[in-house]
A and B are shown apart, each in its own frame.
Chain A
Amino acid sequence: MSGFPWASAVVLIPLMGGIVCGVVPLRRAAIVGLTTAVATVAATSGLGWRVWHHGSVSESPGGWGAPLGIDLVVDGMAALLVLTTAVVGFAISLFSVSYYAPSQTAEEEQETHHQGFFWSLWLVVWAALNGVFISSDLFNLYVCLEVISLSSVALVGLTGTLALRAAMRYLLVTLCGSLLYLIGVALLYGGWGVLDVQMLASAVDQSMASQVALVAMTLGLALKTALVPLHFWLPAAHANAPAPVSAALSGLVIKASFIVLLRLWSDVFGALDKSILAAALTVLAMTAIIWGSVQALRQTRLKMLIAYSTVAQVGYLFVAFAPDITAQTDPVALQGALVFVAAHACAKAAMFLAAGALAISFGDDCFSSMNGQHIRLIAPFIIFILAGYTLIGLPYSGGGEAKYLLSSAVESAGLPVVGWAMTAGKILATLYVLKVLYHIALPTPEASESIELRRITVGMIAAGLLLSVVAVGLGPASAHLLQLLEASIGTALAAPHSALR
């Protein structure tokens, strides 16, 4: 295969950028960071164009093929994920330029000092996310997941005492999750002596070792994805991190472990009978949808509300495993989950960025200190309307399309109860989105005297608007997304076509 190595580029460019950001003077970090972001978006577009026109791409960096070397395989699914990461990543980078801009006050001087770390760590996370999406080797996936984990923990720990404790808890949890995953890798390697996803898919059988591997890996990755009741670490970590970090964590990082789990279930363990585990995951998914939404509704801080909303939305992701109860992976469920990942990544990142902008103007993100009588709040208000629209899953939005696919998948699998939980989740989501809009738009008694709003820059608003518009726009564009997803090889997605198209 000739031509430009697009697949390697989407990992190497942000990685290099991250390293450069670590050594340049602090004031240059933002310039290097934004340049790297633009270059990564360009490389990702190139890769997406390639996959769209010529089908899946596979590369072997260093000239070593599987099983000795590491193969990078970009099918339609991986292309959709790296493109989503590029959109969200670009918006987060754009937001961070003004968020970490040098400021006059001594208190914020320390914030400025952090920006060098921020850019290095964030670009490394971006590289490792792309690595997860395009790797087809179980151990390489482990390394990428660990790089994401450690960098994310460091990003969370950049500020405040609460964030430090949240970061520590996050570190312990995510390490346990990775090690549980590694137990599965050890069992699979011990059994079949290969780690390539496609090679394992044709080898794995009903043996005890593969059953234990499936359970350990599912448990570890569910822990990293924060499926209820393994979500206890998420709200504190996501809500206490700086705004762009929250956006990256909730929008992208939890998706990485979920995607690995999805690949394992549909490819490596495709032939295995997973009905009991699927039933357990489905019950947890329904619990997550209801319980997470109720908790979101009860929060007194905006970022905590958004974080609990993530707990609820993770439930929808795991609905994709429900059809496995009847011992067959449903391609419609997988398509639904992938469109959901893209839509939620954009919507949730937009919300966290808007929340960051609001926290800057009000001093904190407590609902009680918000005061709606100001024209400058119109932009965050619009972002929340658009992102909320798709997060709830209303028609003609990305989230709506994803939830439609998921609910038709569970319906055809004969599980109407899951559909009811999803509908209840929609109602609860409507309520908590309205709660946010209410607090932004209306003056609260406690904060009735007019306060001096600090400036929200154009870059911040543009980043949030871009994401929320894309999140909604994925709905009308979903036919194209499904077409892109079909550029798959070897996955369950390639088999029967969606009946919905």
Chain B
Amino acid sequence: MSTDLIYATTAVVLIGLGLYTVLIRRHLVRKLMAVNILGSGVFVLFIALASSGEGDADPVPQAMVLTGIVVAVSATALGLVLIRRIDEADLKNAELAGEER
């Protein structure tokens, strides 16, 4: 059993876990976390599959995963901004409902 194979398997488990969680969990923060775990799984899979097992690692997939990580962070930041604004809007609605009562 080789290192690449171990991590490729781990990546598959992480992908499954991420997809499952994003489907069943209701809290938005947790869904966003699950997407991040899904992403990490895909990135690990990418590198583990591309590596030949000996010698220097292939730089091309590393550059791609680097891009992928940056995209993931941007997406997470966007998601968190949305979550905050949803929360603010909910709070405002709750206050309005309280005043009406």
Contact = CB atoms under 8 A, between A and B. Distances in A.
Direct contact of A and B (CB under 8 A): yes
B42 A187 contact: no
A176 B35 contact: yes
B82 A186 contact: no
Interface string A176-202: 100100110111011101000000000
B93 A161 contact: yes
- Give the contact-size bracket for chain A: 20 to 34
Which has the most chain B C-beta neighbours within 10 Å: A142, A161, A186? A186
B75 A171 contact: yes
A161 B89 contact: yes
Contacts of A142: 68
B41 to A, nearest CB: 8
Interface stretch (A46-54, A146-154, A419-427, A484-492): A146-154
Q: Helix, strand, loop or mixed for chain B's interface?
A: helix
Contacts of B90: 161
A242 B32 CA distance: 25
- Give the contact-size bracket for chain B: 20 to 34
A117 interface: no
Nearest to A172: B31
A41 B82 CA distance: 33
A273 B23 CA distance: 30
Q: Helix, strand, loop or mixed for chain A's interface?
A: helix
Contacts of A172: 22, 31-32, 35, 79
Interface string A135-171: 0000100110010011001100100010011011001
B19 interface: yes
A165 to B, nearest CB: 6
Contact of B42 (A154, A164, A186): A186
A153 B78 contact: yes
Interface in A125-143: 139, 142-143
B65 to A, nearest CB: 9
Contact of A154 (B39, B60, B78): B78
Contacts of A167: 82
Contacts of A154: 78
30 contacts: A143-B67, A146-B75, A149-B75, A153-B78, A157-B82, A157-B85, A161-B90, A161-B93, A164-B85, A165-B86, A167-B82, A168-B79, A168-B82, A168-B83, A168-B86, A171-B79, A172-B31, A175-B35, A175-B39, A176-B35, A176-B38, A179-B39, A182-B68, A183-B45, A186-B42, A186-B45, A186-B50, A189-B46, A189-B49, A190-B49
Interface of A: 139, 142-143, 146, 149-150, 153-154, 157, 161, 164-165, 167-168, 171-172, 175-176, 179, 182-183, 185-187, 189-191, 193
